[in-house]
Structure formats: structure tokens, C-alpha cells
Amino acid sequence: MKYEMVEMIDNRLDLLFPEKELFAYSPFSLSELRDNIILFIIKDAYAEIEEKLSLRANRGNDNDDQRMRDSRYLAYAQHYRSLLYQRVEKQTGVKIPELLPDDISSMNEKLDGHRLTRMQYFELNTIADHPLFKAITYKRICDVKKISNDRFIEYMTDYDNFIASLTEKLDGDDEDVIFATIALFTLEWIYKVELFYSFAIEAEKAQSKILPIERLPLLCAIRPVPLPPDYIQRSYMESRYVLHRKQLIPCLFHYDDADWCEIILKFNEYMAAEYSIRTEIVSKWSMPEFFYTHFDKSQWANFFRNHYDIRTMYSQKEWTNKRIRTVRQIYEAMTIDQPHPSNG
């Protein structure tokens, strides 16, 4: 099925890359760039139309223990959202007001309380129910004295079971497909478990004594990207290329400096194209609003089914001490140091 937005972005890509030589093959194909942009449009559209409910309404009860847990994890999540707001503003000068906490200073707002969408409440419960994510954020996962190898495996097994419960929803109705795809994307975008496990597997295959961790930021960290036409202006951007980036892991180990520079060039072109499309089409034309006013959810779900089957990102894991050690090293290098809540 063809979508107007698919054609729109295809036309823009034709203008940006008339030769298409840099992007003739996966994982740099223009169709994959297009699909990734559309995923984010749907993600933003879904966030805009989802009803926001109070914590109590999301919870469905007045249980004191659960109420206190909700409040604690809301404060926990907001702590890191505020840090991200400050970091982005400092690096780029861009302010993202949706990262700031709700204003509940007035009496009516206090009575109303914090209001969250179903996805936001799901994310709070994910932090509360699955210890791996908090262990990564706090960098406890890096230290065998804090998280033993046996506990590490317990956490990863719990993670795999949780992921399996979400991927089952990809065979469900339209709402399930949309919700599960966005949830799975966000988890891998933030925590990078599948990417780092793939790195550990490739390190084992390559029998590499020195891990090329310094190349990983290209795939998953905020970095300056030169922008056309003069490539003097730069924008700090984080790769959103979650679904296909594992295909680049072998390049980290087996490419010499010249070939790796070619990968950097291609990735910069890819991200510059994404930036251009987001600023000149998605934001300027309010594409999330266009999507929820012109397309129903069945079309969103069919797009995910036909173009963005996120379950292909996952693999069965077998943990060894060596693989655990490698993943610990990666999280140590790739997780930023930041202040944590006092009650964490």
C-alpha cells in the first residue's frame, strides 16, 4: 500500500540524493531512511492523540503502596528528563519543553495531578518492574561487585521475557501493533541491549584483543553532524537508526581507518538527510497532525507490519562470562555519568 507521506519523503530523498550512489544498499538504503522517519512521525502522532489520565486513573485503584510507587517513579523519570532538557539546551541551544515537568502550582492543577498517557504510564511501570533498566542508568550493570554475573543473567532473562511479551502483541490488533512497536523501539533506543549484545558476539568472532568501542558512538550517541550545503554548520544529533544498525557491527571490527571514514561519511549524509526532512517537511508541515487527521490507526499499523517489523531486531541470547564482561565494558564507556535521585 502506498501512502502520500511515503511518496512525499521519497520525492524529497530524490532531490537530496539524485545519484543515490552512497545509499544503494542496506543499511544505508533510502527506503530504510524513509521508513525510520515515518516511524517517528507515527510515534509523535500517537503521543499527541493519546488521552492523558491521572496517575490514579491509569492505575485503576487507590492502593497506597502503588500510589507511592507511582509518585516515586514519576519523580525518578522526571529527574532524567530534566537532565536531558539541560544537556540538549547546553549542547544545541534547543529547548524541548515537553521534557519539563507538569506545572501543578495552582489548586486546580494540584487536584488534577500529573496526567500521563497509557504509553507514559507503561514506561513508568517498566522502570519499576524490570531491574535491568535502572541498573543500566545507574551504571551498576558495569560493576561485578554490584551486579554479579548470576544477577546479570537474571536481569537479562527478565528483560528477554518482557520483550517476548511485547513482541507477541505484534501479531495482535492495530492498537497492539502500534503500541508494541513504539514501546520496543523506545526501549532499544534508550538502553541498547540488542546492539551491545551484538557487539559482544562480534568481538568473540573477531577474537579482538582491543574492543573498538570508540566507534560505537556513531551508531547510538549524540554527536555533531555537518550539514549541507557548506558542511560548516553542525547539528548535534543522535542516530535513530535502531532497526538496522546491528548490520554495521562487523564494520566496527573489520574495517581499516579508510573504510571506517567512508562509513562515517555515509552516516553523516544519512543523518543530514534526516535532519533536512524533519526540519523542512515534518516540522514545517506539522506531519504528526497530518497523520492523525488524514490516516486512521489501521494505516499506521499496516505501515509497521509491512515496513517496520521490529521483531527482526531481536536475537536469542546465550551469556558467557566473556560476553558479560564485554557488555559491562560497553555500558561503562557508553553510559554518561550524571547525578542520580537521592532515593534511587
The C-alpha atoms of residue 253 and residue 84 are separated, in whole angstroms, by 31
| pLDDT per residue as tens digits for the range 134-190 | 999 999 999 999 999 999 999 999 999 999 999 999 999 999 999 999 999 999 998
The C-alpha atoms of residue 88 and residue 249 are separated, in whole angstroms, by 27
| pLDDT per residue as tens digits for the range 107-130 | 344 434 567 888 888 888 898 889
| pLDDT per residue as tens digits for the range 48-88 | 999 888 777 777 777 766 777 777 767 767 766 666 666 66
**Of residues 258 and 21, which shows the higher confidence score?**
258
| DSSP one-letter code for 278 | I
**Of residues 69 and 296, which shows the higher confidence score?**
296
pTM of the complete model: 0.88
**Of residues 69 and 226, which shows the higher confidence score?**
226
213 close to 344: Cβ distance less than 8 angstroms? no
3-state per-residue secondary structure call for 272-319: HHHHHHHHHHHHCCCHHHHHHHHCCHHHHHHHHHHHCCHHHHCCCCCC
Over residues 31-38, mean pLDDT: 90
